[in-house]
Chains A and B, each alone.
Chain A
Amino acid sequence: MWEYTDKVKEYYTNPKNVGEIENPDAVGEAGSLVCGDMLKIFLKIDKNGIITDAKFQTFGCGSAIASSSALTEMIIGKSIDEADKLTNQDIVEFLGGLPNEKIHCSVMGREALDDAIANYKGIEKKEETENHVICTCFNIKEDEIRALVREKGVTDIYEAAQYSKVSSACGKCREEVSAIILDELKKKNEKPVDKMTKTQLVLKINKVIEGYISEHLRKDGGDIELVDVKKGKVYVRLCGTCGKCAMSSMTLKNFVEKTLKEQVSEEIEVISV
């Protein structure tokens, strides 16, 4: 059961502004039936650019209905430019909060509004390919995730979540966020490896093992220890369930070695002792 605020309950029990507007000045959509959430909004806008009426139709859960209804309440009487400044967080605050897993409902409201404003201004929705939103629950874009790696020294998704909550609600974007973090780490670490002293190299390898690889193996009841580094060869010991696992050679090549190659140097070879 979800813990909904009284305001959310009020807004899904008796939502305001349900329906369609005939001859609307703008229409916006977000989501789809397949995803389980779909929202349409209809706007009436006067000649001064003020939203005089707004209605919605939503296929979705209680918080999706509440977010849609709240959105229409919030934008009626506002100018298009004022409405454009609203964020999904404003919708969440208006409702007195939403459960973490339901934040995406407010984001969907904001997306439908974007779509409606673009529709009103006659702008084709442009796909932001370079910097699109990765985590829709908290509206976090790709360059923000990359900045966390570069500027805050973030090395994995758990650290990233501490700074920005990224991936900590519905979790759908986890793989994508991890891939972006790895990619950025790789860029950040590019090539001064051959100029490193041996100690620097060992420290570097150990940081990746301790901070990332071991973290993942521990989730499955295993672990890993760095034993030695000699001439580009990294000697490790798999422990816990990994040590006994029939798949340990796969883990070693496809995960441990691959990660170290990506994050430290292409030259690395991992050997189990």
Chain B
Amino acid sequence: MEKIIYLDNNATTKVDERVLEKMLPFYCEQYGNPSSMHSFGGNVSKYLAHAREQVADFVGAQNPYEITFTGCGTESANIAIRGALEINKTRKHIITTKVEHPCVMNTYKWLEKRGYKVTYLDVNSEGELLVDELKDVITDDTALVSIMWANNETGVVFPVEKAAKIIKDKNPKTFFYVDGVQASGKIPMDVSKANIDMLGISGHKFHAPKGVGALYVKRGILLPPLILGGHQERGLRPGTENVSGIVGIGEAAQLAKSYLEDEGTRVKALRDELERGIVKKVFNAKINSTKAQRVPNTSNISFEYIEGELMLLHFADAGICASSGSACTSGSLEPSHVLKAMGVPFTCLHGSIRFSLSRFTTKEEIDYALSVIPPIIEKINGYSPYQKELKELKELRNF
């Protein structure tokens, strides 16, 4: 395959070369252990401190020590959630949403089996969180509320600031964890202003390498560690630091902050152009969550009466990388729990594709995608047993 048009940046991103450049010295030159007594190792800790400041600035933390480096977004979520429950032991109720990422969702399923009661908040047909429901479900027994900042499949942004206010008004003892993985690098984040207790992010979603994440924990909340060991990361995440990765996530965070304007303008314009082009040329395409506030890079499009994996396979042959929350792709045979929660009709459920752009996406790439996607859909429409329904749809939409 000569040409790759990478429109799957919510899955992972390319490491920015400026990030890689900062990381490389820590492999063969400054390879010392930051905990060592000798200055060869000890000096490295300065770079960790710098990275901590960069990430703190990126998420809006007031103190660098509110940032802990972890291995990934999943680990950040686990340390935060399980730790918060550990220090809020007498309360056995958790509130989250129906559309969380599996890393959070599966943690709650596991906790349910261990005696916790979990309330799952609904979303509407646009994928927007019905945040006012929070008022009615928070009780004295609520230990934790956990809401994602932006949804990975639809890109819909959730009102975390409003949620924080509701939570703290109703029960100040309830902790608030926000999964910030899909918001980071796409929209401005300010944990202090939003009054969030804990926030998890993952480096590889904003052009840092895979294998490094971060967790913000508000000053004054002392979480216990999940794994036991030494003093690193103030004991919350023991184990020798992933120095190059941490330097990478720091640099990537600083860059991402400077690219927020590009995301909100140029990337958004490209995303909108892609959507307009597809809807104009493909009669059975329907964009999800258009009325909701979305992160600028994400588009979720349902193609009615055809199936997602088949589209992805044909897109891949044309060099286009996208993904689908639907049935067959992810190894599970169930359609997307996010689209199901939104009540997306079953004619669309199995044929929904997510395109996600980045700072590296160009106009030429979008033009190319728009030239190859419509004929592929046309071809696959021809395989469908629902010819009558497709014909009716075509007439209905005046094609």
Q: Find chain A residues with CB under 8 A from B307 CB.
A: 36-37, 59-61, 64
A230 vs B346: C-alpha distance in the bound complex, in angstroms?
56
A34 vs B306: C-alpha distance in the bound complex, in angstroms?
12
Smallest Cβ-Cβ distance to B389: which chain A residue = A33
Contact of A57 among B115, B309, B346, B387 (CB under 8 A): B387
Q: Find chain B residues with CB under 8 A from A37 CB.
A: 307
B310, B333, B349, B385, most chain A CB atoms within 10 A:
B385
A55 vs B335: C-alpha distance in the bound complex, in angstroms?
28
B151 in the interface (beta carbon within 8 A): no
CB <8 Å contact, A33 and B382: no
| A47-99 with Cβ < 8 A to chain B | 57-62, 64-65
Quick check: which of B12-20, B119-127, B323-331, B354-362 contacts chain A, the rest being far away? B323-331
A65 vs B383: C-alpha distance in the bound complex, in angstroms?
8
Q: Find chain B residues with CB under 8 A from A18 CB.
A: 382-383
Smallest Cβ-Cβ distance to A68: which chain B residue = B383
Classify chain A's interface size: 20 to 34
CB <8 Å contact, B310 and A65: yes
A18 vs B306: C-alpha distance in the bound complex, in angstroms?
14
User: If A15-B383, A62-B310 touch, does A245 touch B331 (CB 8 Å cutoff)?
Assistant: no
A235 in the interface (beta carbon within 8 A): no
Q: Find chain A residues with CB under 8 A from B3 CB.
A: none
CB <8 Å contact, A57 and B384: yes
CB <8 Å contact, B385 and A220: no
CB <8 Å contact, A33 and B347: yes
B194 in the interface (beta carbon within 8 A): no
Kindly provide the distance from the CB of B302 to the nearest chain A CB, expressed in whole angstroms.
13
CB <8 Å contact, A36 and B383: no
B69 in the interface (beta carbon within 8 A): no
User: If A59-B306, A62-B309, A65-B383 touch, does A36 touch B115 (CB 8 Å cutoff)?
Assistant: no
A 1-34 to B, binary, CB cutoff 8 A, 1 in contact else 0: 0100000000011010011100000000100011
B350 in the interface (beta carbon within 8 A): yes
User: If A15-B383, A33-B346, A246-B115 touch, does A59 touch B305 (CB 8 Å cutoff)?
Assistant: yes
CB <8 Å contact, B113 and A170: no
| B365-398 with Cβ < 8 A to chain A | 382-387
Majority secondary structure, B binding face: loop
User: If A36-B333, A245-B115 touch, does A59 touch B385 (CB 8 Å cutoff)?
Assistant: yes
CB <8 Å contact, B384 and A59: yes
B317 in the interface (beta carbon within 8 A): yes
A12 vs B309: C-alpha distance in the bound complex, in angstroms?
11
A125 vs B385: C-alpha distance in the bound complex, in angstroms?
21
B193 in the interface (beta carbon within 8 A): no
A135 in the interface (beta carbon within 8 A): no
Q: Find chain B residues with CB under 8 A from A229 CB.
A: none
Kindly provide the distance from the CB of A150 to the nearest chain B CB, expressed in whole angstroms.
31
CB <8 Å contact, B114 and A58: no
Contact of A170 among B310, B333, B335 (CB under 8 A): B333
Q: Find chain B residues with CB under 8 A from A15 CB.
A: 383
CB <8 Å contact, B114 and A245: yes
B279 in the interface (beta carbon within 8 A): no
Q: Find chain B residues with CB under 8 A from A60 CB.
A: 307, 310
B131 in the interface (beta carbon within 8 A): no
B341 in the interface (beta carbon within 8 A): no
Q: Find chain A residues with CB under 8 A from B349 CB.
A: 36
Q: Find chain A residues with CB under 8 A from B314 CB.
A: 13
B309, B382, B383, most chain A CB atoms within 10 A:
B383
Q: Find chain B residues with CB under 8 A from A58 CB.
A: 383-385
Kindly provide the distance from the CB of B343 to the nearest chain A CB, expressed in whole angstroms.
14
CB <8 Å contact, B385 and A36: no
B115, B306, B326, most chain A CB atoms within 10 A:
B115
Kindly provide the distance from the CB of A65 to the nearest chain B CB, expressed in whole angstroms.
6
CB <8 Å contact, A38 and B333: no
Contact of B328 among A13, A34, A36 (CB under 8 A): A36
CB <8 Å contact, B347 and A246: no
A33 vs B349: C-alpha distance in the bound complex, in angstroms?
9
Q: Find chain B residues with CB under 8 A from A247 CB.
A: 113-115
Kindly provide the distance from the CB of A105 to the nearest chain B CB, expressed in whole angstroms.
9
Contact of A61 among B310, B347, B386 (CB under 8 A): B310
B 34-69 to A, binary, CB cutoff 8 A, 1 in contact else 0: 000000000000000000000000000000000000
A34 vs B333: C-alpha distance in the bound complex, in angstroms?
12
CB <8 Å contact, A36 and B326: yes
User: If A59-B306, A61-B310 touch, does A36 touch B335 (CB 8 Å cutoff)?
Assistant: yes
| A106-152 with Cβ < 8 A to chain B | none
B137 in the interface (beta carbon within 8 A): no
B260 in the interface (beta carbon within 8 A): no
Kindly provide the distance from the CB of A233 to the nearest chain B CB, expressed in whole angstroms.
27
B 315-351 to A, binary, CB cutoff 8 A, 1 in contact else 0: 0010000000011100101010000000000110110
A 38-49 to B, binary, CB cutoff 8 A, 1 in contact else 0: 111000000000
Q: Find chain A residues with CB under 8 A from B292 CB.
A: none
CB <8 Å contact, B346 and A34: yes
CB <8 Å contact, A57 and B383: yes
A227 vs B346: C-alpha distance in the bound complex, in angstroms?
53
B 136-150 to A, binary, CB cutoff 8 A, 1 in contact else 0: 000000000000000
B166 in the interface (beta carbon within 8 A): no
CB-defined A-B contacts under 8 Å, sample of 7: A19-B382, A33-B346, A36-B333, A38-B386, A57-B387, A65-B310, A247-B114
Q: Measuring CB to CB, which residues of chain B are less than 8 angstroms from any residue of chain A?
A: 113-115, 305-310, 313-314, 317, 326-328, 331, 333, 335, 346-347, 349-350, 382-387
Q: Measuring CB to CB, which residues of chain A are less than 8 angstroms from any residue of chain B?
A: 2, 12-13, 15, 18-20, 29, 33-34, 36-40, 57-62, 64-65, 101-102, 170, 172, 220, 241, 245-247
Ranked nearest first, the 6 interchain pairs of A and B with the lowest CB-CB distance are: A61-B309, A57-B385, A246-B115, A61-B328, A36-B350, A40-B385
